[in-house]
Amino acid sequence: MTSPVPAAAKRIVVLISGSGSNLQAIIDAVNAGRINGKIEMVISNKDDAYGLERARQADIPGCVIRHTDYSDRDSFDQALIAEIDSHSPDLVILAGFMRIFTPEFVNRYSDRMLNIHPSLLPKYKGLNTHQRAIEDGEARHGCTVHFVTEELDGGPLAVQAAVDILPDDTADSLQQRVHTQEHKIYPLAVEWFCNDRLQLVSGQVQLDGSSLDSQGYQFTE
């Protein structure tokens, strides 16, 4: 009798620009044994990103590649590529990373790069999503994990979670409730990816071998 060989832990690189609360949620899920992966490196484009401190406290290597040290987007992305590729990642995670990538960068990691965006995509691509959703009188808002493609915030959707917009909501209060959902669906999507359950196949997101509909998997408690 041979027992099944456990699948190798996926090698993960995380890119951040700020507080890194989504990074923390993923670190916690790795440490709980829920994600079959190892975060090899956390890269920030900002020196003062608190996520670097979170990495340090979790004994994960961190480094800074400042976009301000490069004359254009292409040379910045080349520096990122050199660092990322030195870790041979199976998965690149954008966790509040705030610089737009060149097509070359995106295409290099196209079936293995995830982002979390604070809206119910395809609504509210870009920035200031919470304020815009409130101003438009939307009943619901939320967050989406998607594969990253050349089209900004336009890649195939993997997992989505919605919250109701309340009458007294401000951009801040709404953002807080959306964050709580982000911290649930991002570790879930990463868990599924690392178990080879979530895959991008010919531009279509599949879960357990079946295509998801265009809105992705709808997460509910």
Residues belonging to the active site = 117
- Residue 152 engages ligand NHR in binding (rule: CB under 6 A): yes
Cβ closer to ligand NHR: 16 or 163? 16
Q: At 60, list the tokens.
A: 């994960």
User: Cα(73)–Cα(95) distance, rounded to whole angstroms?
Assistant: 19
User: Which range binds ligand NHR by CB under 6 A, 92-100, 161-169, 188-196, 207-215?
Assistant: 92-100
Residue 21 contacts ligand GAR per CB under 6 A: yes
**By CB under 6 A, what part of segment 99-118 binds ligand NHR?**
99-101, 106, 115, 117
Report what 171 binds from ligand NHR, ligand GAR, none; CB cut-off 5-8 Å by kind.
Answer: none
- Contact criterion met (CB below 8 Å) for 165 and 140: yes
- Say whether residue 116 binds ligand GAR (CB under 6 A): yes
Establish how many alpha carbons lie within 13 A of residue 192's alpha carbon, considering only the half-sphere containing its beta carbon. Answer: 20
Question: In the set 62, 96, 142, 156, which binds ligand GAR (CB under 6 A)?
Answer: 96
Does residue 155 belong to the site contacting ligand GAR (CB under 6 A)? no
By the rule CB under 6 A, 185 interacts with ligand GAR: no
Find all residues with CB under 8 Å of 34, minimum gap 6, and list them.
187, 191
Angle ∠(122,125,127) on CA atoms, nearest 5: 155
| Cβ pair 171, 68 in contact under 8 A | no
Bridge partner list, 16? 44
Residue (11 or 99) nearer to ligand GAR, CB: 99
User: Is residue 127 within the footprint of ligand NHR (CB under 6 A)?
Assistant: yes
**Residue 128 in contact with residue 111, Cβ under 8 Å?**
no
- The answer to whether residue 187 forms part of the interface with ligand GAR (CB under 6 A) is no
Helices (H) and strands (E) in the chain, counts: 6, 11
From the list 10, 14, 22, 160, which residue makes contact with ligand GAR (rule: CB under 6 A)?
A: 22
Among positive and negative, which fits the CA dihedral 127, 129, 131, 132? Answer: positive
**C-alpha span between 7 and 27 (Å, rounded):** 19
Residue 37 binds: one of ligand GAR, ligand NHR, none (C-beta under 5 to 8 A by kind)? none
Which residues contribute to the site for ligand NHR (CB under 6 A)? Answer: 94, 97-101, 106, 115, 117, 126-127, 148, 150, 152-153, 155
Which residues contribute to the site for ligand GAR (CB under 6 A)? Answer: 16, 18-22, 51, 95-96, 98, 116-118, 143, 179, 182
